[in-house]
Structure 1
Amino acid sequence: MTDARHLIVVDAANVIGSRANGWWKDRAGAARRLLDDVAGLTTQLPETTEVTVVLEGAAKAAADGAQPSAPRMTVVLAPRSGDDKIVDVVAEANSHEQITVVTADRELRTRVEAHGADTVGPGWLWKQLD
């Protein structure tokens, strides 16, 4: 018997914005640091766990050039609304038994929970990364 496949979807804007560390001065740089941190985390997660990080707006520039290479990590660029893209990712993730969305956005939580996802706040991810 294999472990259940788990997808963690990260609302990067929400996670980055949850800490007052000057991220607003360099959104792409803050997103790049988050991607680097999440890439490191994926090496510690079970092989049945995948992570998708959704970038929107100015943070999408973090994906220009070399993205961190990590096992089972995907970076998705939202063409418009990051929240809409996250809902799309969750709705299309039918090969995963468990889906967890990392966000504090109440409306987004309601939308993804309607698709069967669990939600956790940004603090959960920061704790995993610290």
Structure 2
Amino acid sequence: MRVLVVDAANVVGSRPDGWWKDRPGAARRLHERLLVADVPHDLVVLVLEGQAKAGAPAGRDGHVRVVHAPRDGDAAILDVVRSHAVDQVTVITADRGLRAGAEVAGATVMSPSWLLDLL
């Protein structure tokens, strides 16, 4: 299975479009775009943290699963990567520390711009 894990905070934060004024709204818009996106993955896991968690409920909606990070988003993303160790996992982030941890766990890492270009 091909799994795409999205660091929502990093993707939303990659474009200065006023997202900081409405973090839940920015998360909702990203979630909605992922629901209709034509991505080459079987499952998309959108990881939300902090105020952004109010933008989309945790759980599965079609091919998109929303995870609400209980602590920080990076730890939740690495947990998702590890839970899909037998799958082909791609993580979307520009965070250097998360990138390194995801690669050590066996994931491929792509930039937020790669995902935004698909959307």
Q: Give the TM interval when normalised to the shorter protein.
A: over 0.9
Q: Which of 22, 35, 48 is residue 18 of structure 2 equivalent to?
A: 22
SS at match of 2:45: strand
1:85 aligned partner: 76
Where do 5+ consecutive residues of structure 2 fail to align? none
CA 1:87–1:64 in 2, change beyond 3 Å: closer, same or farther?
A: closer
Partner amino acid, structure 1, of 2:102 = V
The answer to whether structure 1 residue 123 and structure 2 residue 116 are counterparts is no
| TM-score after normalising by structure 2 | 0.93
Per-residue deviation, residues 45-92 of structure 1 (Å, max 9, x unmatched): 45x621000000000001259x894x2210000011000000000011
- The answer to whether the Cα contact below 8 Å between 1:32 and 1:63 also exists between their aligned partners in 2 is yes
SS at match of 1:113: helix
Distance (Å, rounded) in 1 between the aligned partners of 2:16 and 2:36: 22
Distance (Å, rounded) in 2 between the aligned partners of 1:68 and 1:118: 23
SS at match of 2:14: coil
The answer to whether structure 1 residue 59 and structure 2 residue 55 are counterparts is no
Where do 5+ consecutive residues of structure 1 fail to align? none
Q: What is the identity percentage for the equivalent residue pairs of Structure 1 and Structure 2?
A: 50
SS at match of 1:51: strand
Distance (Å, rounded) in 1 between the aligned partners of 2:57 and 2:93: 24
Partner amino acid, structure 2, of 1:76 = V
The answer to whether structure 1 residue 38 and structure 2 residue 34 are counterparts is yes
SS at match of 2:94: coil
- The answer to whether the Cα contact below 8 Å between 2:57 and 2:66 also exists between their aligned partners in 1 is no
| TM-score after normalising by structure 1 | 0.85
Partner amino acid, structure 1, of 2:43 = E
CA 1:68–1:95 in 2, change beyond 3 Å: closer, same or farther?
A: closer
